[in-house]
Homo-oligomer: A and B are copies of this chain.
Amino acid sequence: MRVARQVTKRRAKDEAASHASAGGGKVVARAKTRTNDPDRTKANIIEIATHEFSEKGLSGARIDEIAERTRTSKRMIYYYFESKEGLYRAVLEDSYRRIRTIEASLDLENKPPLEALAQHVRFTFDYQLGNQEFIRLVMVENIHHGQHIAQLSRTQQEGMGAIETLRNIVERGIEAGVMRKDLDPIDLHMSISALSFFNVANRHTFSTIFKVDMTTPAATAARRESVADMILRFVAP
């Protein structure tokens, strides 16, 4: 009954799309080969969805559009993630997991405390600068009052190692007499994050209002040093 109607929508769409272009109209669009590899399929969906959600927010992103850019179909999104929110949660979780992994890979414990701190600050600054999708997702999630990250399991929301890293650095710094004694790692982390975050997060409104371009290499470098400087002065005894 249904089989008979199998005229394949995709084909019809492609035809229409290529209709206005060159006559020969090779159907170029994504081949969408059947993977039969769940992990790859899921990873592909998450990758595209990460981009879409970070670009347009949770409400602004469109499942249809995500599916379109995916190697699979809309149906598979629901197959694996149940709902738009389910997909968004998976995206969130994946993004946080990635940053955790990367943070853990840094080795700062063997460097002199001030140097380690400076490096940590610069790394944080650069990571956020280089991972704007992540920054934007965090903004999106905060617009939604953090209700989705709150739904992730304890392990999935697990605090990043940054605090521990900082605690170690601060302890060594105090011991070495190069940092003051009343530093709180969480407070310090908040400052570092805040200073790094703002540059990506508020870039658009800030540059429009103050008529400055925050994206030039020079501006970026200057800002990075200003931030590092601010933190170093802050911890000084």
Contact string against B for A residues 181-203, beta-carbon threshold 8 Å, 1 for contact and 0 otherwise: 00010110111011101110111
Our pick among B9, B57, B157, B206 for the contact of A60 (Cβ within 8 Å) is B57
- Nearest chain-B residue to A86 (Cβ)? B16
| In the complex, A12 has a CB within 8 A of chain B | yes
Q: What's the least CB distance linking A178 to chain B, in Å? A: 15
Evaluate contact between A226 and B1: CB separation under 8 angstroms.
no
Chain B residues with CB under 8 A of A108? none
| In the complex, A229 has a CB within 8 A of chain B | yes
Q: What's the least CB distance linking A185 to chain B, in Å? A: 10
* Cα A144 to Cα B38 with chains together (Å): 33
Contact string against B for A residues 128-160, beta-carbon threshold 8 Å, 1 for contact and 0 otherwise: 000000001011111111110110110011111
- Nearest chain-B residue to A207 (Cβ)? B146
Tell me whether A210 and B138 are in contact in the complex, defined as CB-CB below 8 angstroms, given that A13-B82, A60-B58, A80-B19 are known contacts: no
- Nearest chain-B residue to A225 (Cβ)? B187
Q: What's the least CB distance linking A3 to chain B, in Å? A: 10
| In the complex, A111 has a CB within 8 A of chain B | no
Our pick among B142, B187, B195, B209 for the contact of A226 (Cβ within 8 Å) is B187
Q: What's the least CB distance linking A27 to chain B, in Å? A: 11
| In the complex, A205 has a CB within 8 A of chain B | yes
| In the complex, A211 has a CB within 8 A of chain B | yes
* Cα A94 to Cα B201 with chains together (Å): 21
Contact string against B for A residues 79-97, beta-carbon threshold 8 Å, 1 for contact and 0 otherwise: 0111000100110011011
Chain B residues with CB under 8 A of A212? 186
Evaluate contact between A195 and B193: CB separation under 8 angstroms.
no
* Cα A159 to Cα B205 with chains together (Å): 10
* Cα A226 to Cα B86 with chains together (Å): 38
| In the complex, A20 has a CB within 8 A of chain B | yes
Tell me whether A1 and B144 are in contact in the complex, defined as CB-CB below 8 angstroms, given that A16-B81, A138-B205 are known contacts: yes
Chain B residues with CB under 8 A of A150? 204, 208
| In the complex, A217 has a CB within 8 A of chain B | no
* Cα A142 to Cα B201 with chains together (Å): 7
Evaluate contact between B145 and A204: CB separation under 8 angstroms.
yes
Q: What's the least CB distance linking A200 to chain B, in Å? A: 9
Evaluate contact between B19 and A90: CB separation under 8 angstroms.
yes
Evaluate contact between B80 and A139: CB separation under 8 angstroms.
no
